[in-house]
Amino acid sequence: MKKLLAVLFVLPLLVMPTSFAAPKKISVTSMKFIADAGMNNDFAGLVLSQNNIVIFGSSSEQSGSTAFARAIDRVGNQQWKILLDAGAEEIATAATTDTSGNIWIAGSFSPTVPQVFESATVTPALNPDEVINESVQVIREDLDFVGVWKVSPQGEVLTSFNLKMDYPALITSIAVDKDGLSLAGLTNIGKGSVGVLLNCSIAGVCSTPIFIGTKDTTLDGVVRTVDGGQVIIGSSSEMILDKRVQGLRDGIIVGVAKTGKISKVIRSSAPKASRNWSGTTRTYFFGGEVITGQKIESAVTKFSNTFVPTWTYRFTSTGPVFNAVGPSKSHYSFFASTTAITNILGWNPKRATGLVIAFDSKGALMGAYSASALTQPRAVAYSKDLGLVVAGVSGETVSIFHLNSR
């Protein structure tokens, strides 16, 4: 086997990029409440399709769980709701949209009802570094089928397919283009957590799974590249491609060629710190947690197509961060801020508070938007039709807010 090249990269410990001489001060704009999206444990995420906000997840029932998707408009009125049947139990854990507004939803399911119900609920949102000492993610053993549903903007299931796995699998991210779709996630093999990448045609014909790591690696995001390959992000505390872990846990960025071979691995590390990459966009704007002792930060970095960082920020927070692409090559990051932030006027939260920061094409801060009722971010999205939309937790309920720009 050829020895693959791994590139070690340590992100600079910057709070503000050094290229901006005198950043302007910006004020915080409050976001407007749209609707409650249900219980926290049922919510997996949201995507924007034409004029609708599409919420997806899995509702817990006495006999198990059922995957669903439902659409609301910009004022919170429900437009449609569907159940995503595949077997006795399903969980929907990742979604994306294509250029026609179709919604592609991925998850896992079991063809039969399990006999043991102690671990009947699997939380769709996966934050592997939220508990540093817990390295192995528990995946229900009966969830050994991967399912994919294609749903029209009007709520009609256009097609679906499934793939039988030899092991339980939890899908964390899906990407689609005209040539096919890619699924990233993790599986428990033996006593370890292993990253898994699946590539499938639009018709549902899937290639042999690609595994990353052997005992303590997770994958949380995937992007399809113009040359037919993929870029996947996640975290690992084990050696990959002969390169040892540099911190307690490293964020990883992995390039996979069209042939299925790993072409590049970049480790993002900090001394005595636990890192991950979990928030991804098609423009290589990545976000993740940095946990150093008792200090927790949200890190966001814009990479070039060759994975060279062009700008980066860190913000004191509760850790998880969600990213989206905005208009005119801008970007959004949504996280729970816990302290004052330089150049944001009057911002000094007394508790963890949901905050969106907008960056222009060169990485300068251009806007700040708050959903003060939210203490834990769960999703962020932007579209030309609906603008900026976020979802987060307040108590046990997930609520949806948007930037009232109309």
The whole-number pLDDT of residue 335 equals 98
Distance CA 65, CA 327 (A): 37
The whole-number pLDDT of residue 400 equals 98
The token pair at 181 is 């779709």
The whole-number pLDDT of residue 365 equals 97
The residues, any chain, with a CB within 8 Å of residue 77's CB and separated by 6 or more, are none
Helix or strand or coil: residue 42? helix
pTM for the whole thing? 0.88
Question: Of 57, 102, 62, 44, which Cα lies nearest the Cα of 83?
Answer: 57
Distance CA 145, CA 164 (A): 5
The whole-number pLDDT of residue 62 equals 56
Distance CA 128, CA 218 (A): 7
Question: Of 164, 61, 163, 73, which Cα lies nearest the Cα of 113?
Answer: 61
Question: Given 2.10.60.10, 3.20.20.10, 3.40.50.720, 2.120.10.30, which CATH number is that of 8-402?
Answer: 2.120.10.30
The whole-number pLDDT of residue 8 equals 29
127: left (phi over 0), alpha (psi -120 to 50) or beta: beta
The whole-number pLDDT of residue 13 equals 34
Tokens 């309920």, residue located: 397
What is the phi/psi pair of residue 383, to 5°?
A: -145, 160
Distance CA 49, CA 240 (A): 38
The whole-number pLDDT of residue 130 equals 31
Distance CA 406, CA 392 (A): 22
The token pair at 328 is 């005119």
Report the amino acid identity of residue 335: F
Report the amino acid identity of residue 305: N
- For 401, how many CA atoms within 13 A lie in the half-sphere containing its CB? 24
The whole-number pLDDT of residue 276 equals 97
The whole-number pLDDT of residue 86 equals 73
H or E segment at 150?
strand 145-151
The whole-number pLDDT of residue 55 equals 98
Helix or strand or coil: residue 328? helix
CB atoms within 10 A of CB 115: 6
Write out residues in the chain with pLDDT < 50, as ranges.
1-21, 116-137
The token pair at 296 is 């927790």
Radius of gyration of the chain (CA): 20
The beta strands (E) that lie in 41-156 are given as 43-49, 52-61, 64-72, 78-83, 89-97, 103-110, 145-151
